A = this chain, B = another copy of it.
Amino acid sequence: MKYKIKSRIWIEADGNILLGEGRVSLLKAIDETGSLSKAAKSLGMSYKKAWSLIDAVNSRAEKPVITTSIGGKSGGGTELTSYGKSLVIAFETINENCWKFLDKEISKTDL
Protein backbone atom coordinates (compact mmCIF):
# COMPACT_ATOMS: atom_id res chain seq x y z
CA MET A 1 0.00 0.00 0.00
CA LYS A 2 1.65 3.19 -1.20
CA TYR A 3 -1.16 5.52 -0.18
CA LYS A 4 -1.99 6.77 3.28
CA ILE A 5 -5.29 8.23 4.37
CA LYS A 6 -5.40 11.21 6.65
CA SER A 7 -8.16 13.19 8.30
CA ARG A 8 -8.98 16.23 10.31
CA ILE A 9 -12.07 16.48 12.42
CA TRP A 10 -13.61 19.44 14.15
CA ILE A 11 -16.69 20.27 16.16
CA GLU A 12 -19.03 23.05 15.07
CA ALA A 13 -21.65 25.04 16.94
CA ASP A 14 -24.17 26.90 14.71
CA GLY A 15 -21.89 26.68 11.70
CA ASN A 16 -18.87 28.08 13.53
CA ILE A 17 -15.84 26.06 14.43
CA LEU A 18 -15.75 25.32 18.12
CA LEU A 19 -12.90 22.85 18.43
CA GLY A 20 -10.20 21.52 16.17
CA GLU A 21 -6.83 19.93 16.74
CA GLY A 22 -5.03 23.22 17.29
CA ARG A 23 -7.52 24.48 19.82
CA VAL A 24 -7.49 21.18 21.68
CA SER A 25 -3.74 21.18 22.04
CA LEU A 26 -3.93 24.75 23.28
CA LEU A 27 -6.54 23.78 25.87
CA LYS A 28 -4.33 20.93 26.99
CA ALA A 29 -1.36 23.28 27.30
CA ILE A 30 -3.49 25.64 29.38
CA ASP A 31 -4.39 22.76 31.65
CA GLU A 32 -0.73 21.92 32.11
CA THR A 33 0.59 25.45 32.61
CA GLY A 34 -2.31 27.29 34.26
CA SER A 35 -1.67 30.27 32.02
CA LEU A 36 -2.62 31.27 28.50
CA SER A 37 0.63 33.08 27.85
CA LYS A 38 2.71 30.12 29.02
CA ALA A 39 0.56 27.76 27.00
CA ALA A 40 1.07 29.86 23.89
CA LYS A 41 4.80 29.99 24.46
CA SER A 42 5.02 26.24 24.95
CA LEU A 43 3.38 25.71 21.58
CA GLY A 44 5.47 28.36 19.79
CA MET A 45 2.32 30.38 19.20
CA SER A 46 1.89 34.11 19.69
CA TYR A 47 -0.18 35.18 22.65
CA LYS A 48 -2.48 37.08 20.34
CA LYS A 49 -3.30 34.03 18.27
CA ALA A 50 -3.81 31.90 21.34
CA TRP A 51 -6.11 34.47 22.86
CA SER A 52 -8.27 34.76 19.75
CA LEU A 53 -8.55 30.97 19.51
CA ILE A 54 -9.63 30.72 23.12
CA ASP A 55 -12.02 33.61 22.69
CA ALA A 56 -13.70 31.78 19.83
CA VAL A 57 -13.94 28.57 21.82
CA ASN A 58 -15.33 30.24 24.90
CA SER A 59 -17.91 32.31 23.02
CA ARG A 60 -19.33 29.30 21.20
CA ALA A 61 -19.34 26.56 23.78
CA GLU A 62 -22.52 25.77 25.66
CA LYS A 63 -20.77 26.20 28.98
CA PRO A 64 -17.54 27.96 29.95
CA VAL A 65 -14.46 26.06 28.87
CA ILE A 66 -11.94 28.14 30.81
CA THR A 67 -11.87 30.54 33.73
CA THR A 68 -9.53 33.50 33.81
CA SER A 69 -8.23 35.82 36.48
CA ILE A 70 -6.32 39.06 36.02
CA GLY A 71 -3.85 40.45 38.52
CA GLY A 72 -2.87 38.86 41.76
CA LYS A 73 0.28 37.26 43.01
CA SER A 74 1.13 35.43 39.83
CA GLY A 75 -0.29 38.13 37.56
CA GLY A 76 -3.34 36.08 36.82
CA GLY A 77 -4.02 32.87 35.00
CA THR A 78 -6.31 30.71 32.93
CA GLU A 79 -7.68 27.32 33.92
CA LEU A 80 -9.55 24.64 32.11
CA THR A 81 -12.98 23.88 33.52
CA SER A 82 -14.13 20.32 34.02
CA TYR A 83 -16.45 20.88 31.09
CA GLY A 84 -13.43 21.92 29.04
CA LYS A 85 -11.64 18.77 30.09
CA SER A 86 -14.54 16.61 28.99
CA LEU A 87 -14.55 18.37 25.61
CA VAL A 88 -10.86 17.67 25.18
CA ILE A 89 -11.23 14.02 26.09
CA ALA A 90 -14.22 13.52 23.81
CA PHE A 91 -12.42 15.17 20.91
CA GLU A 92 -9.26 13.15 21.29
CA THR A 93 -10.93 9.79 21.65
CA ILE A 94 -13.16 10.39 18.64
CA ASN A 95 -10.16 11.57 16.65
CA GLU A 96 -8.16 8.46 17.44
CA ASN A 97 -11.10 6.23 16.67
CA CYS A 98 -11.51 8.00 13.36
CA TRP A 99 -7.91 7.32 12.40
CA LYS A 100 -8.27 3.64 13.16
CA PHE A 101 -11.52 3.50 11.25
CA LEU A 102 -10.00 5.11 8.17
CA ASP A 103 -6.98 2.83 8.19
CA LYS A 104 -9.33 -0.11 8.21
CA GLU A 105 -11.38 1.38 5.40
CA ILE A 106 -8.49 1.99 3.06
CA SER A 107 -7.02 -1.42 3.69
CA LYS A 108 -10.26 -2.85 2.30
CA THR A 109 -9.66 -1.24 -1.09
CA ASP A 110 -7.27 -2.46 -3.77
CA LEU A 111 -5.60 0.89 -4.40
Interface residues of A (CB under 8 A from B): 2-14, 18, 62, 86-87, 90, 94, 97-98, 101-102, 105-106, 109-111
Complex-state Cα separation, A19 to B106, whole angstroms: 13
- Residues B13 and A2 in contact, CB atoms below 8 Å apart: yes
Shortest distance between the CB of A20 and any CB in chain B (Å): 9
- Residues B6 and A12 in contact, CB atoms below 8 Å apart: yes
> CB-CB < 8 A to A102: which residues of B?
9, 94, 98
Shortest distance between the CB of A1 and any CB in chain B (Å): 10
Most buried by B among A13, A14, A102: A102
- Beta-carbon nearest neighbor of A19 in chain B: B3
> CB-CB < 8 A to A10: which residues of B?
5-7
